[in-house]
Structure 1
Amino acid sequence: MAEGLFGIHGTALQLRSQRMGLITSNIANAGTPGYKARDIDFAAALKARTEGLSNDQAVAQATRWRVPVMPSMDGNTVEMATEQTAFAENAVGYQATLTFVRGRIETLTRALKGD
């Protein structure tokens, strides 16, 4: 039902939320030896969802390991500048998608009320 009401934006919101969690995990593990940073290729995940894969399948298929510019001696691949940039970019996309979904909800609410 959510995809019917919100179209691709409902799916995009779910994917952006999952990507935010993954980026946050990377940041939280910046000091963990051997931790391998990952990210979700948002465009690939969204494409996979539109082709009929479940959310979990699409995320699994679109998850990529980060390749560090400057590998650390302890094997950790988190680079804070990269993670902060990805976090900010994803947050802007999340907010834009959320704004669209809220607008759609407001439109539906007004239609139901007869305003």
Structure 2
Amino acid sequence: MNSKLDGYLNFQQTTISLLARRQEVLASNIANADTPNYKARDFDFNAVLAKKLKSANNTTASTDALGADLLYRQVIQPSADGNTVDMDVERNLFAENSLRYETSVTMITGQVKDMLAVLQG
């Protein structure tokens, strides 16, 4: 059974979980930048977030099972060894994702503080 508290925190909880998973994927791309034939991966964050929020509203599904379908990144500049990691792209996405993660943590912290203030009167 979903309570109002669950609904209040669900968006940020789902967002943080997906951003953490995306950070792992991007870090893996960066770590394998010199691995021959490694194919850079990512997922459509907005599509997965919308799917998770929709399923959470329709059922009591947990946000633990992320179910983000990893896609192969489009090759901008192919390398001789078959590796598709573009370090400039990966670093930019990693930094952007980190900033979004920090923002989400700040927002959920604020929500919890607001709820505590209401409860303490």
Same fold (TM over 0.5): yes
1:30 to 29, 33, 48: 33
The answer as to whether partners of 1:3 and 1:11 remain within 8 angstroms in 2 is no
Residues 72-111 of structure 1: pairs in structure 2 closer than 5 A: 72-111=79-118
Higher RCO (C-alpha under 8 Å, 6+ residues apart): 2
The answer as to whether partners of 2:18 and 2:66 remain within 8 angstroms in 1 is no
When normalised by structure 2's length, the TM-score is 0.82
When normalised by structure 1's length, the TM-score is 0.86
Distance 1:33 1:71 in 2: 12
Ranges in structure 1 where 5+ consecutive residues have no aligned partner:
none
Letter of the 1:49 partner, please give it: K
1:43-82 CA-partner distances (Å, limit 9, x unpaired): 011011122176432x12xx22111211111111101000
1:39 to 34, 39, 42: 42
Letter of the 1:44 partner, please give it: A
Instruction: Give 3-state SS (helix, strand or coil) of 1:68's partner.
Output: coil
Instruction: Give 3-state SS (helix, strand or coil) of 1:56's partner.
Output: coil
Aligned positions, number: 111
Distance 2:109 2:53 in 1: 22
Identity of paired residues, percent?
Answer: 36
Ranges in structure 2 where 5+ consecutive residues have no aligned partner:
56-60
Letter of the 2:30 partner, please give it: I
CA-CA distance at 1:110 after TM superposition: 2.1
The answer as to whether partners of 1:33 and 1:75 remain within 8 angstroms in 2 is yes
CA-CA distance at 1:112 after TM superposition: 2.8
2:22 to 14, 19, 24: 19
- Over the aligned positions, Cα root-mean-square deviation in angstroms equals 1.8
1:23-50 CA-partner distances (Å, limit 9, x unpaired): 0000000011111110121101101112
